[in-house]
Amino acid sequence: MPHRKSDSKPLAVPSSRLSRIARLGGLASGIAGSMAAEGARQLAQGRRPSMGELLLTPGNAMKVAEQLAQMRGAAMKVGQLLSMDAGDLLPPELAQILARLRAEAHHMPGAQLKKVLADSWGPDWLRRFAKFDVRPIAAASIGQVHRALTRDGRDLAIKVQYPGVRRSIDSDVNNVAALMRLSGLVPKGLDLAPMLAEAKRQLHEEADYQREGRCLARFGALLAEEPGFAVPALHADLTTRDVLAMSYLEGVPVDGLTKAPQAERDRVMTLLIDLMFRELFAFRLMQTDPNFANYRYQPETGRLILLDFGATREFPATLAQGYRRLLRAGLAGDREGVRGAAAEIGFIGEALPERVEQAMLEMFELSLEPLRSPGLFDFGNSDLALRIRDGSLAMAADRDHVRMPPMDALFLQRKFAGIYLLASRLGARVDLRALLEPHLEDGGQA
């Protein structure tokens, strides 16, 4: 979660299950009403409207995004998950609506904030602090961050969870999923059940700030001797299931480095890509949320600050080994080896038509281009992202054979895509092959 001033407006979070269901019910009714009116208008003009045209009006898109953003919690998060994890599988119009939810959320009013803190720390909680900034420095889907100074001199970032988030997760996910299905835009062949089950599981984990604190501490220990990284220190005495206390680290947005010297942009992305490979092959522990705001930069030290470990995911050794085989085969130009590794991971199944399987293998080969390039790969001077997007859209158009990848692989692909997008934003040049090769041998490099 970013350490920056929030421009959002205070808006109370609907915390009861009934109030949240009512919000979504009202949203569905409002959209249905506007669709009926628009359909009648088009019929009067002699046109035969499609479901997609009726749903995807600017007004309806705004209704969906605004309502889910106001609800926050799982309702907002599931939209973010669907937009980022299934952006290549869902129709582009629906993904575009959901992508609006990546914007910053509103924050809690002061009275609601104080109640959450009193419930977590007791009624006299304010006595622990010399200063507590009531206006958040960041606000997102599940919680918001405040800066505070304790009486014993600790400069902290305090993440506070919105009330009602945890107990509303399952119903929020189910209701948003129903809204998606009612739209008629989710491909019939796409089984959202695994993604929705995973969304619930991940959200329950992300809503447990004590778990996030443990993940934060684990990454802090793993990178303690790394001069290029800084991880906030966990302050366990102030951390509860609803409140996460960590040291405050000053930094600037990493995606703001577009004007930095080329060598510095290259160094920053080399650090992040190397860390990503180590997360998969050495740590088998990855922070899977590629939001740019989770990376900050310290101009005075050149260190990268890593934030927000709620989406930390452990991977089994079999997955790391499957990707190792996939990459080795791909780099060797062994298409049959790529196919075997892709089947082992779960990308390819027996029922997949030959044309779809071949299209998928071509996509794998396309994505390996940066790794095959000798020396530096110039992210800022490549049209690879556009070619991958076009290939993905072509595959998604075959709606009868859309296949959901395994969830672990889906989260990995999400991280890969996010890092690629950041490298492109910075116009970085990185020797990817040199970073990957130490991990290609069985056992990899720690």
Residues noted as catalytic = 289
Q: How many CB atoms lie within 10 A of CB 372?
A: 13
> What is the residue-wise DSSP string for 150-193?
ETT--EEEEEEEPTTHHHHHHHHHHHHHHHHHHTT-S-TT---H
| Contact assessment for residue 118 and residue 126, using Cβ atoms and an 8 Å cutoff | no
Give the residue among 407, 21, 418 at the shortest CA–CA distance from 191. 407
| Contact assessment for residue 76 and residue 60, using Cβ atoms and an 8 Å cutoff | no
Give the residue among 253, 247, 251, 254 at the shortest CA–CA distance from 216. 247
Spatial distance between the Cα atoms of 345 and 33, rounded to a whole number of angstroms: 44
Q: b vs e for 245-280, b when ≥16 Cβ sit within 10 Å of the residue's Cβ?
A: bbebbebeebeebeebeeeebbbbbbbbbbbbbbbb
Q: Across 256-319, where does the E strand assignment appear?
A: 285-287, 295-297, 304-306, 312-314
